[in-house]
């Protein structure tokens, strides 16, 4: 539906324009929190893949769960290496917190 890897100056087609308006309402909203694991990275990749879709340029109120976990559990205070190992994947974080890793189907 959305054409990937076009130049940022490319015009959006009808479907992309409709989708952009829909996404923009969600992404620009300060009232709606966008919560996820390494979500900021995913959103940057999305904007990079669809540079001509204006909705992906401005995203507000992103909450990064890996940062919250580091602060709440003080993983980074215990060991800097452990912090990166635990918070670089959702599966490793689940294993650290819950004692069991998550498979891709659970994520």
Phi, psi of 52 (to 5 degrees): -85, -10
Helices (H) and strands (E) in the chain, counts: 6, 2
Instruction: Please give the average per-residue pLDDT across 94-105, as a whole number.
Output: 79
Of 49, 42, 60, 63, the closest CA to residue 16 belongs to: 49
Instruction: Please give the average per-residue pLDDT across 63-67, as a whole number.
Output: 82
How confident is the model over 9-34, as pLDDT tens digits? Answer: 999 999 999 999 999 999 999 999 99
* Claim: this prediction has a pTM higher than 0.85: no
Element (H, E) at 62: strand 62-64
Q: Residue 61 has what pLDDT?
A: 92
CB 60 within 8 A of CB 28: yes
Q: Residue 81 has what pLDDT?
A: 58
Q: At residue 37, does pLDDT exceed 60?
A: yes
């Amino acid at each position: 539906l959305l054409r990937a890897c076009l130049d940022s100056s490319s015009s959006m087609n009808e479907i992309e324009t409709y989708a952009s308006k829909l996404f923009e309402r969600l992404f620009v909203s300060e009232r709606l929190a966008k919560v996820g694991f390494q979500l900021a990275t995913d959103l940057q990749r999305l904007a990079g893949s669809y540079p001509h879709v204006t909705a992906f340029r401005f995203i507000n109120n992103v909450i990064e769960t890996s940062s919250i976990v580091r602060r709440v559990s003080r993983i980074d205070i215990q060991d800097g290496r452990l912090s990166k190992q635990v918070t670089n994947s959702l599966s490793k974080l689940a294993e650290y917190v819950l004692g069991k890793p998550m498979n891709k189907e659970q994520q």
